[in-house]
Amino acid sequence: MKFNKAYSGLINKLSPSLVCEAWSRIISRKRNPITEEEASSINPLIESFLRHEVNRYQKKLKYQRKSLPLFKNSLYDTDMPDQETQTRDTDPICDHEEEINCRIKKELGSLSRQLLEYNEKTFDSFMQEITKQLEERINANNKLRSEINQQKLKLQKAEKLLAGLKPNNSEASVKTHK
């Protein structure tokens, strides 16, 4: 692992473990792999990669510094159990998880109710209109079916009348042909 000395300013801003990790990441890239020789020479790609790593590292440190005072204050506010109690009690994490799960379930219930109320307010009139249109179509279809059935009955009556008239017509046509 030998980054070019031109990058020593950037490398000094990283922890040694991150320098090793950056080296292995740069030479084992899946797309456009770089050889160790290319990585140890001056290359704008290497420089931008190192700058990116330094920025990520500095942001991480800045976040840790912000959260550290909160952590210190919480340490002073709590009573620290002795080592025997620490080894004996491993359930507080589980209790904490149960509390978190309980809070999440309550929040999900609240969100579900809010969503149902919102959907009801938003879509209720829309659904009523669709239901009204559906009922109107059903009624219209029922009327059409009724009319079709009535027309079928009339057609059957007309067919019976025609069937009754046919034998008489056939006898008359037979008589006229003789």
pLDDT for residue 100:
84
Average pLDDT, the chain: 79
Q: Give mean pLDDT, residues 50-62.
A: 89
pLDDT above 60: residue 105: yes
Question: Which of 18-27, 78-87, 162-171 has the least mean pLDDT?
Answer: 78-87
Tens of pLDDT, residues 113-147: 999 888 888 888 888 888 899 999 999 999 999 99
Query: Rounded to an integer, what distance in angstroms lies between the CA atom of residue 96 and that of residue 105?
Result: 14
pLDDT for residue 174:
53
Concatenating the DSSP letter of every residue in 16-56 gives HHHHHHHHHHHHT-SSS---HHHHHS--HHHHHHHHHHHHH
Q: Count other C-beta atoms under 10 Å from residue 13's C-beta.
A: 17
Q: Structural domain boundaries of the chain?
A: 5-78, 128-170
Decide: pTM greater than 0.95: no
pLDDT for residue 134:
92
Give me the helices (H) in the chain, please.
Answer: 8-11, 16-27, 36-40, 44-77, 83-88, 92-177
pLDDT for residue 157:
93
Tens of pLDDT, residues 65-101: 777 665 555 555 555 555 554 445 444 455 677 888 8
